[in-house]
Structure 1
Amino acid sequence: MQDASTHIILDTRRVLKDGTFPVKLRVTHQRKQKYYPTGVSLALEDFERLNSNRPGRELKDIGLELQDIERKAVRVIEKLPSFSFEEFERRLQRSGSPSEIFSAFDTAITRLRKAGRAATADNYESARNSLRRFASGKAFTPRKGKTKAEIATLLHEEEKNTTPLPFSRVTPDFLENYEEWMLQEGRSGTTVGIYLRPLRALFNEAIASGEVSQELYPFGKRKYQIPSGANVKKALALKDIQRIFDYVPATESEARSRDLWLFSYLCSGINVKDIARLTYRQLDKETIIFVRSKTRRTTRQKQKQITVPLLPEAMAIIGRWGNKPVTPDTYIFPVLVSALSPEQELARVKQATKTVNKYMKRIATALGIEKDVTTYTARHSFSTVLKRSGVSTAFISESLGHSSEKTTQHYLDSFETDAKRQVVSKLTAFPK
């Protein structure tokens, strides 16, 4: 037995902004103590109620979560040949059995959140929860319309009733059955791909670390291949983009959403998150320079800067909606404010995207544009309009910030039907 002890404590040395205190795991070894975050914070009176006979449902669930954290720490300590904080922390971060998929997901989610990659962490959580429902034989329970508390209760019940999923159980047949289950539940092949890519990444990590044998890898040729998203035409024709330019907005909200959509189109298809993060420091009289948030942490190479020549129309949009006063560190557009957590930033970006999409749908309907016009459409329209104008794929790839032209090819939309008809009509353009 190791001479190290664990205890869940309320760290009253530092009060948080909401008046609560962080709950921490305290580990003591040879009179030395170290504290580890649990992700939970409570008021003093709630922490005192936590271990009472009737703590209430919400506190009871929190208590179970904290007990699970402490149990994991105890298991790690018991398996150590000799205790050291360094080895304890290393094994604790792996959070459970290295050959178990849900533990691997939990570890990755924690790592991503610590790195500030809230959107990717959310994607891993969705993938984990979907696989958990499938592995336990549960039907998909729609989350739409439910409160955050109701969703949290659903997830807690699912986690509580889930049996472990070893890497060895995930075979090509397992994945084929999962895909079929997802489609029967009304999910698309695109969603299947989005959920299985994190699982593939976890397999690669586990194999690279020696925790899983290469022979167990279920992906690839003659095994299971993750479905690709359908190559749906997302770009608008230039004539429709002109109609959006010429549209007279009915409200200020319509005007702002239309202008943010046009700013994306005019500025290399920049997405809403990167628009939100732009500061005046990145702006000069002729260009905006930025690095895509999507690639900032995912590439080991030198970050690729995207330099966008600013058209007069883009400068006019900044003039209409830009924050004042103009200082180097001020965000250009009023989407974000300083000192936001990654989760708060993600929520604001999602809300801004949702608002733009809502008003662009109204504008498209008013103009008789039948396509689904979203912020994503602006990026695809930027690349496709340039393609149709004879611009090289290399230039478009650089403008989009892609690592290769192959990626860009997936973005480039097909020519309109009437353009194709004009081309194939030459097959019967016999001399008179």
Structure 2
Amino acid sequence: MATISLGIRQAKPNVDGSFGVKIIIGSKGTTAYISTRFKVDNLSQWKGGKIVRHPDADVNNRKLRALLSEYEAILDSIPNPNVSAKDVKEYLERRFRKSDSLKAYAEAYITRLEKEGRKSYAQNMGYTLKYLIECFGESVILQEFTPSALTLFEKHLRKGGSSDTTINIRMSHLKALLNAAANDSIVEYKVFPFRNYKIPTKAVRDICISKEELHRLREAKFKGVSERRHTVARDLFMLSFYCAGINLTDLMDARLDGDTITFVRKKTATKKQGEKEVSITIQPEARAIIDKHLTKEGKLDFGYNYSQYEQFRSFVTKGL
């Protein structure tokens, strides 16, 4: 018969020297572990299956007991208890508040973003999910996100060397994720976690270029092995400038053999209400660049057989 209990793995501390509290599963002479969001700073804070000598010991122990009870209830329903600890773990994880799991919901949300064509945002949301799991463990549920949990996540990011700008991005991603979960009725918050939490402000950078610098870029001549890359990057930068800042992904999909560019901006297509089409008149300066790279189908072609948009975007970014 499988057994479960609370414990820590002394031989496997975290990178910062702390120890995560685990659900330890024993069955048929094998052992498996389920991570929790709880941890102790050192071995002296764990004794007899409980957190001790810790400012939040009482609260955390109550939550851990409740968590263990949930897993015990699921274990009681296992059809065949005579299996390995790994099999028991898989059974428990599949049935533990699946709909309320941060990891499960975030992965589904990321898939939704990818289907909407928001691949770059989906990729960055994936990075944020990685840090959330790193901080709270894979079994953390959406309901557990409170202002104190947000503060804990911020501390975790700072400990890892993240700047205010990076923390702003990660927290903005988490806020969007929790908002989406609430809107999808996956979780209900009496008080939304971010209501009284202030997201760190991004560092202000002066990234404007002068008219003189823009003129130098427009007229620049390139030589050597990077001539083609720099020329393509320059042409796309200037074309975006002449077309009211159009994004590369929208520009590459647009038909450009007429007097105007009409498109639906991918970045806001699923958010914006009402009229979504954007129409821009092609100015002579833009037409001169377009005609250098225009195909018979009215699309831009820079001579690169990249199958993935992200590859070409990376190529252009490096060129810039």
Structure 2 length normalisation: TM-score? 0.62
Q: Cα offset for 1:131?
A: 0.4
Asked whether 1:225 is paired with 2:201, we answer no
Pairing partner for 1:266 from 233, 242, 245:
242
TM-score of the aligned structures, taking structure 1 as reference length: 0.47
* Matching of residues 15-414 of structure 1 within 5 Å: 72=94, 97-136=98-137, 162=138, 164-220=139-195, 223-250=196-223, 251-280=227-256, 283-284=257-258, 286-303=259-276, 305-323=277-295, 326-327=296-297, 331-334=299-302, 348-360=308-320
Q: Distance in 1 between matches of 2:303 and 2:190?
A: 48
The answer (yes or no) to whether the contact 1:289–1:308 under 8 Å persists in 2 is yes
| Structure ranking higher in strand proportion | 2
- 2:118·2:266 contact (CA, 8 Å) conserved in 1? no
Supply the distance in 2 between the matched residues of 1:335 and 1:182 (Cα, whole angstroms): 42
Question: Distance in 2 between the 1:246 and 1:209 partners?
Answer: 51
Distance 1:210 1:201 in 2: 14
**In the TM superposition, what whole-angstrom CA distance separates every residue of 1:159-202 from its partner, at most 9, and x where no partner exists?**
xxx3x112333221221222232123222222222222332233
CA contact (8 A) 1:287 1:308 kept: yes
Q: State the 1:68 CA deviation.
A: 6.1
**What secondary structure sits across from 2:262 in the alignment?**
strand
What secondary structure, in the 3-state scheme, does the structure 1 residue paired with 2:280 have? strand
- Decide whether aligned partners of structure 1 residues 258 and 218 sit closer, same or farther in structure 2, where only a CA change above 3 A counts: same
The alpha-carbon distance between structure 1 residues 262 and 210, as it changes in their structure 2 partners (threshold 3 A), is: closer
Higher helix share: 1
Q: Distance in 2 between matches of 1:359 and 1:208?
A: 41
2 CA distance for matches of 1:327 and 1:211? 45
Alpha-carbon shift at residue 245 of structure 1 (Å) = 1.4
Identity over the aligned pairs, expressed in percent?
Answer: 25
Question: Which runs of 5 or more residues in structure 2 are unaligned?
Answer: 1-85
Gaps of 5+ in 1: 1-63, 76-94, 137-161, 338-343, 361-432
Q: Does the C-alpha gap of structure 1 residues 332 and 225 become closer, same or farther in structure 2, counting only changes over 3 Å?
A: same
**Cα displacement (A) at 1:100:** 2.5
Q: Is the 8 A contact 2:100 2:142 kept in 1?
A: yes
Please say if residues 207 and 214 of structure 1, whose CA atoms lie closer than 8 Å, have aligned partners that are also in contact. Answer: yes
The structural deviation recorded for 1:103 is: 2.0
Distance 2:120 2:303 in 1: 17
> 1:142 matched to which residue of 2?
none
CA distance in 1 between partners of 2:99 and 2:203 (Å) = 35
Contact 2:135–2:156 (CA under 8 A) maintained in structure 1? yes
Instruction: Provide the C-alpha distance between the structure 1 equivalents of 2:246 and 2:280, rounded to a whole number of angstroms.
Output: 9
How much has 1:336 moved relative to structure 2?
8.7
Could you tell me which amino acid in structure 2 is paired with residue 227 of structure 1?
Answer: P
* Counterpart in the other structure of 2:20: none
Deviations 1:96-118 (A, max 9, x none): 62332222212212333344443
What do the CA deviations read for 1:19-61 (whole angstroms, capped 9, x no partner)? xxxxxxxxxxxxxxxxxxxxxxxxxxxxxxxxxxxxxxxxxxx
> Is the 2:262–2:280 Cα contact (8 Å) retained in structure 1?
yes
